[in-house]
Amino acid sequence: MKLSMLVDKVLLRLAASKTSKESRSGVLLIAAGGLGDAVLLMAVLDRFLALADKGEQVTLLMRKDAAKMGFLAPPELEILSIDFPRLKNDWAYRLACFRTLADRNLRLVVSLDYLRHPYLDEALIKACGACVRAAMKAKPWAKYQAELDANQALYERLYDSGGALADKVLRWAGFADWLTGRHSPPPVLALAESRMQPAATGLAPTVFIQPFSAVASKQCPPEFYIPLLEALPKDVKVALLGAPGDLERNPEFSRLLARPNLTFDARPFKDLLPSLRAARLVVSVDTALMHLAALSGAPTLCLASAAYAGEIVPYPAETCPSNVRFLMAEMDCRGCLGDCIHPDHERIYPCVAKLNGAEAAKAGLELLEEFA
């Protein structure tokens, strides 16, 4: 037996609640995906709230980084964030997390993740000691398959959500229907108006460009954006979006900032959202910012790799809002989920290298005109 498994046996025993299961109350939803997943989840999250009994508290457990999108959640929902790298490496923190969950005396725990880690999110599920635990059958993972198979015994309810490549939002919607016994139509990808700040007013016409991704292979080079920048109306201001440190990690993009009427904007998502809602156009690689813009109603052009086709982007027709367009090069290897078979994938995905800046400019101008 692995040392980590032995340690967890001790930690789980130390953390276990002594409360009887008959007196338990509360629903915990666990979503351990990243920022982009968090935005998409907000479009379908209400379907899972129906799992709560009258007056029962519903809590959403998120990774600490993804919890930055918690401001989009229903106000009655409690957000609980967990630092997953620390959970993995710090045993004292791990015990504290286990105790926090065990002390909640939960009635129901639901994992919303198809991709699960047996020693991270599934360890948290064990710690809850809930009366009922539900999940989708986990995505196959060769490295941990034996542990994932063994952990199936954790769940009183286990849903077969389909094959390894399926649209993430439709997978969630099917899971929610299965749990609640409802038959709801596919969700249109939009954030609830009541949970968003109003669109900013009094701003000059603005185009936002988000060229950066945590997966550098999804990034188009700076020159890709030149045709669009040169074709935009002269009264339009352009802001290059990014997180602090993006320009330092990608110094080649600094030369775009030498162009007139172009600035860099590193505001956090919550502060940026009103400006996104007022934007004339948002052009973005497939990243959390793209989903936030698209679901907030901004005219949005996604520069998509084919790597995540069938799972994330392009959105399926039945869920795609009218304000979003996708530019993607078709590839025989589409849907590789980042496991690129091409030898130069360390630099840039070949499907991204095939994207054409002139075509992006044309699509962007069409969106500008359509939503003027």
- Global pTM? 0.95
Q: What is the 3-state secondary structure (H, E, C) of the chain?
A: CCHHHHHHHHHHHHHCCCCCHHHCCCEEEEECCCHHHHHHHHCCCHHHHCCCCCCCCEEEEEECCHHHHHHHCCCCCEEEEECHHHHHHCHHHHHHHHHHHHCCCCCEEEECCCCCCCCCHHHHHHHHCCCEEEEECCCCCHHHHHHHHHHHHHCCEEECCCCCCCCHHHHHHHHHHHHHCCCCCCCCCCCCHHHCCCCCCCCCCEEEEECCCCCHHHCCCHHHHHHHHHHCCCCCEEEEECCCCHHHHCHHHHHHHHCCCEEEECCCHHHHHHHHHCCCEEEEECCHHHHHHHHHCCCEEEEECCCCCCCCCCCCCCCCCCCEEEEECCCCCCCCCCCCCCCCCCCCCHHHHCCCHHHHHHHHHHHHHHCC
Q: Outline which parts of the chain fall under CATH 3.40.50.2000.
A: 3-180, 193-370
CATH number of the domain at 193-370, out of 3.20.20.140, 3.40.50.2000, 3.40.50.720, 3.30.420.10?
3.40.50.2000
Overall fold of domain 3-180 = Rossmann fold (3.40.50)
pLDDT in tens, the chain (372 residues): 477 778 889 999 999 987 777 789 999 999 999 999 999 999 999 999 999 999 999 999 999 999 999 999 999 999 999 999 999 999 999 999 999 999 999 999 999 999 999 999 999 999 999 999 999 999 999 999 999 999 999 999 999 999 999 999 999 999 999 999 999 999 999 999 999 999 999 988 999 999 999 888 899 999 999 999 999 999 999 999 999 999 999 999 999 999 988 999 999 999 999 999 999 999 999 999 999 999 999 999 999 999 889 999 999 999 999 999 999 999 899 988 888 888 765 688 999 999 999 999 999 999 999 998
